[in-house]
């Protein structure tokens, strides 16, 4: 499975949506949601006011996936959602992606297509990596989620900012720890 390029866009879109609608500092406004669709290569110009609430609901549903501590929990959630969502795989060939799979019926509206893509691509990620590439940010006080699409796959933070903040805090904590000179304790 490709975890970069077009096929990972559903994963990145899922992360963006979950962070927008389920975190303290997230922005779940219509404009913010439309921007998520745009940057992740979805047909954002089809996005209408009535699509916003279904998308927010989907973000709250997918949060459970990122929060799942056990693979079994994540798998049964994905399975349940795949049974609920009408799928209709077909090949599409539109710019700029080239030939690729769509999972929702061609007549489906944007929220349905978005649900199908994110669901299938998260499922592919789980097939390939279990829960090793997704999770909630390890930084203290951060409630954002992440997906790691890098080759190394060692990511634990939602952002560079959180990684740096945590490293600095750990460094300071080490410096604060009093050291007893050897032989005097
Ligand atoms: Zn974070």
Q: Determine if the peptide bond prior to 131 is cis (ω within 30°).
A: no
CA distance 3 to 166: 27
Asked whether residue 185 is assigned to any structural domain, the reply reads: no
Number of domains in the chain: 1
Asked whether residue 10 is assigned to any structural domain, the reply reads: yes
Asked whether residue 157 is assigned to any structural domain, the reply reads: no
CA of 48 to the centre of ligand 1 (A): 30
CA of 145 to the centre of ligand 1 (A): 7
CA of 168 to the centre of ligand 1 (A): 14
CA of 163 to the centre of ligand 1 (A): 7
Residue 90 is predicted with a pLDDT of: 87
Domain span at 17: 5-134
CA distance 120 to 81: 10
- Write the pLDDT tens digit of every residue in 40-74: 988 899 999 999 999 999 999 999 999 999 999 99
Asked whether residue 177 is assigned to any structural domain, the reply reads: no
Asked whether residue 96 is assigned to any structural domain, the reply reads: yes
Asked whether residue 149 is assigned to any structural domain, the reply reads: no
Asked whether residue 152 is assigned to any structural domain, the reply reads: no
Residue 185 is predicted with a pLDDT of: 47
Count the residues in the chain: 185
- Write the pLDDT tens digit of every residue in 122-145: 999 999 999 999 999 999 999 999
CATH number at residue 36: 1.10.3300.10
Confidence of residue 184 (pLDDT cuts 50, 70, 90): very low
Q: In Å, what is the CA distance from 136 to each residue of 29, 132, 148, 149, 165?
A: 22, 11, 11, 15, 16
CA of 37 to the centre of ligand 1 (A): 22
Q: Is the dihedral of CA 124, 127, 131, 132 positive or negative?
A: negative
- Write the pLDDT tens digit of every residue in 150-159: 888 889 999 9
Chain mean pLDDT for the chain: 89
Residue 43 is predicted with a pLDDT of: 87
Asked whether residue 140 is assigned to any structural domain, the reply reads: no
């Amino acid at each position: 499975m490709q975890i970069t390029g077009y096929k990972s866009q559903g994963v990145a879109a899922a992360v963006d949506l979950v962070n927008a609608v389920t975190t303290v500092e997230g922005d779940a406004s219509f404009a913010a949601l439309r921007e998520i669709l745009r940057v992740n290569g979805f047909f954002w110009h089809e996005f209408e006011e009535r699509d916003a609430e279904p998308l927010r609901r989907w973000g709250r549903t997918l949060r459970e996936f990122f929060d799942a501590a056990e693979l079994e929990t994540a798998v049964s959630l994905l399975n349940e959602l795949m049974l609920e969502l009408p799928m209709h795989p077909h090949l599409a060939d539109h710019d700029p992606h080239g030939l690729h799979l769509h999972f929702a019926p061609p007549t489906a509206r944007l929220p349905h297509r978005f649900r199908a893509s994110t669901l299938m691509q998260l499922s592919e990620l789980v097939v390939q990596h279990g829960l090793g590439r997704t999770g909630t940010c390890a930084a203290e006080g951060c409630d954002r989620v992440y997906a790691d699409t890098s080759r190394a796959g060692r990511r634990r933070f939602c952002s560079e900012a959180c990684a740096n903040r945590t490293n600095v805090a750990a460094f300071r904590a080490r410096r604060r720890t009093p050291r007893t000179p050897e032989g005097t304790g």
